[in-house]
């Protein structure tokens, strides 16, 4: 142990000196390496590079990216979407060249063998398969440690960045332990109350869900502020934030989809950049989870416009993370999904054809148009403003009829729990989306999740550990292993 510690200290000291010349050293390193910078290509000079750039064999920093609901057909559809229609060769997406393997997503649930985001998240955050709805507790409802908690124990900085609520299942599995994902107030309370070495578990929290941090849940936001966190609620406040700790909530519940969002809202990549700026100040490294959560939210109601919008936002954030890892050699980037959603099919009916051009013409998502009509806006006006392709007049009559039926339902009791309202809203949204699903030839099989294996993309030191067809628990096992071997932050560990 002593030898390892001594080596560790030597490496840190040398890398701090090297950091002052990082710009120059980095350029020469990049220019003499035309091949992939994957760990396999690091060769004999790995030791020297470890001194210059930190440990390049074992990551000090991990950026774990989750694309909620992004099954393999989403990746293929997005490749079509990114290319001009009629192209003979489809250019790759930012993901394609980093494909390493696939994840098996099934949960350990007594009733269901297709996972939800809570069981899926618990698997890749903790290494334990559990029942649907569980937030980092095992099948006996006992808490199980997450890789973010391990990072914090070792003095690393930590972050959660997400497009939906911060108390949603995927971020929650990293910093909370509770028997049900629905207990969002309790989850937010745990974010504040639970400490590791006297510190809050998560240094950077950016996403939606302000309602769980405000006055209805004990003014947690003010308490975080008292403890040194910046509180921000729009893009310019986020850009001006100076503290290394921040709580940013940009909407009461889920953030709007990228295609529908006001300019004052940060995009996923903006939040990721802010997180990287803050977290990278810690010499011991960091763990950051970035989630493209709204891919799933758009896929549940079969909204192809929303799905492609969010895939685009996630791709930009992934590309940005790769750029970061290219200049920070001790950083591993992994991107995977917890499951697939909706049973997205590239073509439907009898035609051998999928037409993403139609989706490009859309001005708003189906979710957005539905919300506008639910809020009382004139259906015809909403459709005219949101659609960029022809909307048949017969179909417009169906939208108007569905809106009329919805508005007839009693106002009292309106809400997510009211089944009639939910059913009628679904009917309305389906009517709004039918023309774009038809014109683009997009098929769907369910409003829920599917059990297909999902793709895993990785780059940087340790990326080869994600090769092949793996259990979803292996991601956590790999990251625990990396942190155990991390010489910059484990001196105090046993």
Per-residue DSSP letter, 68: T
The residue range among 96-104, 163-171, 296-304, 470-478 that interacts with Zn ion, by the rule CB under 5 A, is 296-304
Q: Please work out, in degrees rounded to the nearest 5, the angle formed at the alpha carbon of residue 172 by the alpha carbons of 94 and 237.
A: 70
Compose the 240-279 pattern: x for residues touching Zn ion by CB under 5 A, - for all others: ----------------------------------------
- Pick 143 or 451: Cβ nearer Zn ion: 451
Question: Do the annotations mark residue 68 as ligand-binding?
Answer: yes
Q: Which residue has the tokens 């529908």?
A: 260
453 binds Zn ion (CB under 5 A): no
Assign residue 410 a region: left if phi > 0, alpha if psi is -120 to 50, beta otherwise?
Answer: beta
- Pick 39 or 296: Cβ nearer Zn ion: 296
Question: Do the annotations mark residue 177 as ligand-binding?
Answer: no
Q: Using CB atoms, what's the residue nearest to Zn ion?
A: 296
- Pick 260 or 296: Cβ nearer Zn ion: 296
The residue range among 290-298, 312-320, 405-413, 479-487 that interacts with Zn ion, by the rule CB under 5 A, is 290-298
Question: Do the annotations mark residue 300 as ligand-binding?
Answer: yes
Say how far apart CA 172 and CA 401 lie, in whole Å.
40
CB 355 within 8 A of CB 439: yes
- Pick 296 or 439: Cβ nearer Zn ion: 296
CB 454, min distance to Zn ion, A = 13
Question: Do the annotations mark residue 339 as ligand-binding?
Answer: yes
Site residues for Zn ion, 1-30, by CB under 5 A, read none
CB 300, min distance to Zn ion, A = 6
Strands (E), 278-402: 286-292, 331-336, 340-341, 345-346
Indicate which residues carry an active-site annotation: 117
SS3 label, residue 335: strand
Say how far apart CA 72 and CA 192 lie, in whole Å.
36
Question: Do the annotations mark residue 170 as ligand-binding?
Answer: yes
Is residue 380 classed exposed, middle or buried when 0-12, 13-18 and 19+ CB atoms within 10 A define those classes?
A: middle
Question: Which is nearest to 284 in space by CA: 175, 197, 173?
Answer: 197
Say how far apart CA 289 and CA 489 lie, in whole Å.
19
Q: Which of 168, 221, 260, 296 binds Zn ion (CB under 5 A)?
A: 296
- Pick 203 or 296: Cβ nearer Zn ion: 296
Q: How many residues bind Zn ion (CB under 5 A)?
A: 1
SS3 label, residue 105: coil
- Could you list the residues known to form a binding site, using ranges: 68, 168, 170, 291, 296, 300, 338-339, 449
Q: Which residues bind to Zn ion, rule: CB under 5 A?
A: 296
């Amino acid at each position: 142990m002593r030898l390892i510690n001594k080596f560790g200290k030597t490496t840190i000291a040398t890398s701090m000196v090297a950091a002052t010349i990082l710009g120059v050293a980095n350029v020469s390193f990049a220019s003499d390496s035309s091949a992939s910078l994957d760990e396999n290509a690091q060769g004999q000079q790995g030791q020297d590079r470890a001194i210059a750039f930190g440990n390049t064999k074992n990551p000090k920093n991990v950026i774990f990216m989750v694309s909620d609901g992004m099954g393999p057909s989403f990746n293929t559809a997005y490749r079509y979407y990114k290319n001009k229609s009629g192209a003979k060769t489809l250019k790759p997406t930012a993901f394609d060249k980093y494909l390493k393997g696939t994840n098996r997503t099934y949960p350990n649930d007594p009733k269901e063998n297709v996972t939800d985001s809570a069981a899926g998240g618990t698997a890749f955050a903790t290494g334990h398969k559990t029942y649907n709805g569980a937030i980092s507790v095992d099948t006996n409802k006992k808490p199980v440690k997450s890789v973010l908690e391990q990072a914090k124990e070792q003095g690393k900085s930590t972050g959660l960045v997400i497009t939906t609520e911060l108390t949603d299942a995927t971020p929650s599995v990293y910093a909370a332990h509770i028997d049900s994902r629905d207990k969002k107030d309790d989850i937010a309370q745990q974010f504040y109350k639970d400490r590791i070495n006297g510190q809050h578990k998560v240094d950077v929290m950016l996403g939606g869900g302000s309602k769980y941090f405000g006055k209805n849940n004990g003014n947690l936001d003010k308490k975080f502020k008292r403890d040194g966190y910046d509180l921000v609620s729009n893009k310019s406040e986020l850009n001006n934030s100076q503290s290394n700790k921040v709580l940013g909530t940009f909407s009461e519940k889920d953030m709007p989809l990228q295609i529908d969002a006001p300019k004052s809202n940060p995009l996923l990549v903006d939040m990721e950049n802010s997180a990287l700026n803050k977290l990278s100040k810690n010499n011991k490294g960091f763990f950051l989870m970035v989630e493209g959560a709204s891919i799933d939210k758009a896929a549940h109601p079969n909204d192809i416009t929303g799905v492609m919008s969010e895939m685009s936002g996630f791709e930009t954030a992934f590309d940005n993370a790769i750029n970061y890892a290219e200049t920070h050699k001790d950083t591993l980037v992994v991107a995977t999904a917890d499951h697939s959603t909706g049973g997205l099919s590239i073509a439907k009916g009898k035609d051998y054809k999928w037409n993403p051009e139609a989706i490009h013409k859309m001005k708003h998502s189906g979710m957005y148009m539905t919300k506008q009509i639910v809020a009382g806006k004139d259906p015809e006006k909403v459709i005219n403003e949101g659609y960029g392709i022809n909307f048949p007049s017969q179909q417009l009559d169906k939208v108007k009829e569905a809106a009329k039926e919805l508005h007839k339902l009693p106002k009292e009791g309106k809400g997510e729990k009211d089944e009639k309202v939910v059913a009628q809203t679904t009917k309305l949204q389906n009517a709004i989306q039918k023309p774009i699903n038809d014109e683009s030839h997009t098929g769907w099989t369910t409003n829920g999740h599917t059990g297909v294996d999902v793709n895993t993309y990785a780059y940087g030191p340790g990326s080869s550990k994600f090769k092949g067809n793996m259990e979803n628990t292996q991601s956590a096992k790999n990251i625990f292993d990396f942190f155990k071997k991390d010489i910059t932050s484990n001196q105090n560990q046993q």
